[in-house]
Amino acid sequence: MFNLLKTAMLMAAITALFMVIGSSIGGKQGMMLALLFAVGMNFFSYWFSDKMVLRMYNAQEVDAQSAPQFYRMVQDLAQRAQLPMPRVYVINEDARHGQL
With a CB cutoff of 8 Å and minimum separation 6, the contacts of 42 are 11, 14, 15
Per the confidence metrics, is the pTM higher than 0.85? no
Q: What's the pLDDT tens digit per position in 34-75?
A: 999 999 999 999 899 999 999 999 999 999 999 999 999 999
pLDDT at 97 over 70: no
With a CB cutoff of 8 Å and minimum separation 6, the contacts of 11 are 42, 45, 46
Under 8 Å between Cβ of 46 and 8: no
Q: Where are the domains of the chain?
A: 1-56, 58-100
